Chain A
Amino acid sequence: MKRQPLYGLMAEFHSAEELLEAAKNTYEAGYRRLDAYSPFPIEGLADTIGFSRTRLPVLVLLGGLFGCCGGFFLQWWPNVIGYPLNVGGKPYDSWPAFIPITFEMTILCASLTATFGMLALNGLPAPYHPTFNVPRFAQATKDRFFLMIMAEDPKFDPEQTRQFLAELNPREVSEVES
Chain B
Amino acid sequence: MAATDPENAATLVSPGSEVLGPGHTYGSVTDKISSIVLTRGTGKKYKAGLALAIVLLLMLNYAVTVLMAVGVGIFGINVPVGWGFAITNFVWWIGIGHAGTLISAFLLLMRQKWRTSINRFAEAMTLFAVACAGAFPVLHMGRPWLAYWLFPYPDTMGVWPQFRSPLVWDVFAVSTYATVSLLFWYVGLIPDLATLRDRATKKFKQVIYGIFALGWRGSARHWKRYEMAGLLLAGLATPLVVSVHTVVSFDFTAAIIPGWHSTIFPPYFVAGAIYSGFAMVIALAVPLRKYYGLEDFLTIRHLDNMGKIMLATGLIVAYSYIMETFMAFYSGNPYDRFMIMNRMTGPYAPVYWVLIAVNLVIPQVLWISKIRRNPLWLWILSFSVQTGMWLERFIIIVTSLHRDFIPSSWGMFYPTRWDWMVFIGTIGLFFTLFYLFIRFLPMISIFEMRELVHKTAEESTH
Listed in ascending order, the chain A residues whose CB lies under 8 Å from chain B are 14-18, 23, 35-42, 45-46, 48-49, 51, 54, 56-57, 60, 64, 74-75, 78-79, 82-83, 87, 90, 94, 97-98, 100-101, 103-105, 107-108, 110-112, 114-115, 117-119, 121-122, 124-129, 131-132, 137-143, 171
Q: Of A46, A108, A142, which contacts B176 at CB under 8 A?
A: A108
A83 and B447 CA atoms in complex are apart in Å by 52
- Whether B215 pairs with A127 at a CB distance below 8 angstroms is yes
Q: Which residues of B contact A79 (CB under 8 A)?
A: 160, 163
Q: Of B187, B198, B243, which contacts A104 at CB under 8 A?
A: B243
- Whether A101 pairs with B233 at a CB distance below 8 angstroms is no
- Whether B225 pairs with A122 at a CB distance below 8 angstroms is yes
Q: Which residues of A contact B162 (CB under 8 A)?
A: 87
A115 and B186 CA atoms in complex are apart in Å by 9
9 CB-based A-B contacts, threshold 8 Å: A41-B451, A51-B220, A60-B232, A94-B164, A101-B169, A104-B169, A104-B172, A108-B179, A141-B216
A49 and B162 CA atoms in complex are apart in Å by 54
Q: Of A57, A101, A118, A142, which contacts B226 at CB under 8 A?
A: A118
Name the residue on B nearest A46 (C-beta): B224
Measured CB to CB, the closest approach of chain A to B219, in angstroms, equals 5
Q: Of B198, B239, B448, which contacts A40 at CB under 8 A?
A: B448
Most B CB contacts (10 A, CB to CB) among A46, A51, A114 go to: A114
A35 and B223 CA atoms in complex are apart in Å by 11
A131 and B220 CA atoms in complex are apart in Å by 14
Q: Of A16, A41, A56, which contacts B232 at CB under 8 A?
A: A56
- Whether B247 pairs with A126 at a CB distance below 8 angstroms is no
A51 and B224 CA atoms in complex are apart in Å by 9
Counting contact residues on chain B (CB < 8 A from A), the size range is 35 or more
Name the residue on B nearest A117 (C-beta): B229
A132 and B186 CA atoms in complex are apart in Å by 23
Q: Which B178-200 residues have C-beta < 8 A from chain A?
A: 179-180, 183-184, 186-187, 191, 194-195, 197-199
- Whether B220 pairs with A114 at a CB distance below 8 angstroms is no
Q: Which residues of A contact B215 (CB under 8 A)?
A: 124-129
Q: 19 additional contacts, CB 8 Å, given A64-B236, A101-B172, A122-B222?
A: A16-B454, A37-B218, A38-B223, A39-B30, A40-B454, A46-B221, A51-B220, A56-B232, A60-B232, A101-B163, A104-B172, A107-B240, A127-B210, A131-B217, A141-B194, A141-B199, A142-B195, A142-B199, A143-B11
- Whether A82 pairs with B160 at a CB distance below 8 angstroms is yes
Q: Of B2, B236, B447, which contacts A114 at CB under 8 A?
A: B236
> For the complex, is B147 an interface residue (Cβ under 8 Å from A)?
no
Q: Of A48, A97, A108, which contacts B180 at CB under 8 A?
A: A108
Name the residue on A nearest B152 (C-beta): A74
* Given the contacts A41-B451, A56-B232, A115 and B221 also touching, CB distance less than 8 Å: no
Q: Which B1-27 residues have C-beta < 8 A from chain A?
A: 1-3, 8, 10-12, 25-27
Measured CB to CB, the closest approach of chain B to A39, in angstroms, equals 5
Name the residue on B nearest A131 (C-beta): B217
Most B CB contacts (10 A, CB to CB) among A78, A104, A121 go to: A104
- Which 3 pairs from chain A and chain B are nearest by CB? A143-B26, A126-B215, A118-B229
Measured CB to CB, the closest approach of chain A to B78, in angstroms, equals 27
Q: Which residues of B contact A108 (CB under 8 A)?
A: 176, 179-180
Q: Which residues of A contact B341 (CB under 8 A)?
A: none
- Whether A56 pairs with B225 at a CB distance below 8 angstroms is yes
* Given the contacts A42-B220, A114-B236, A100 and B164 also touching, CB distance less than 8 Å: no
Measured CB to CB, the closest approach of chain B to A166, in angstroms, equals 15
Measured CB to CB, the closest approach of chain B to A34, in angstroms, equals 9
Measured CB to CB, the closest approach of chain B to A178, in angstroms, equals 15
A117 and B222 CA atoms in complex are apart in Å by 12
Q: Which B137-167 residues have C-beta < 8 A from chain A?
A: 152, 158-160, 162-164, 166
Most A CB contacts (10 A, CB to CB) among B8, B239, B454 go to: B454
Q: Which residues of A contact B222 (CB under 8 A)?
A: 122, 124
A137 and B447 CA atoms in complex are apart in Å by 16
A131 and B1 CA atoms in complex are apart in Å by 26
Measured CB to CB, the closest approach of chain A to B149, in angstroms, equals 14
> For the complex, is B128 an interface residue (Cβ under 8 Å from A)?
no
Q: Which residues of B contact A16 (CB under 8 A)?
A: 454
Name the residue on A nearest B224 (C-beta): A46
- Whether A39 pairs with B447 at a CB distance below 8 angstroms is yes
A126 and B222 CA atoms in complex are apart in Å by 12
- Whether B27 pairs with A114 at a CB distance below 8 angstroms is no
* Given the contacts A87-B164, A112-B183, A51 and B1 also touching, CB distance less than 8 Å: no
Q: Which residues of A contact B448 (CB under 8 A)?
A: 40
- Whether B2 pairs with A18 at a CB distance below 8 angstroms is yes
> For the complex, is B390 an interface residue (Cβ under 8 Å from A)?
no
> For the complex, is B228 an interface residue (Cβ under 8 Å from A)?
yes
- Whether B1 pairs with A17 at a CB distance below 8 angstroms is yes
A79 and B163 CA atoms in complex are apart in Å by 8
> For the complex, is B441 an interface residue (Cβ under 8 Å from A)?
no
* Given the contacts A18-B2, A37-B219, A115-B187, A107 and B236 also touching, CB distance less than 8 Å: yes
- Whether B160 pairs with A107 at a CB distance below 8 angstroms is no
Contact pattern, B 227-258, Cβ under 8 Å of A = 1, otherwise 0:
11100110011011001000100100000000
* Given the contacts A79-B163, A107-B239, A128-B215, A122 and B195 also touching, CB distance less than 8 Å: no
Q: Which residues of B contact A41 (CB under 8 A)?
A: 223-224, 226-227, 447, 451
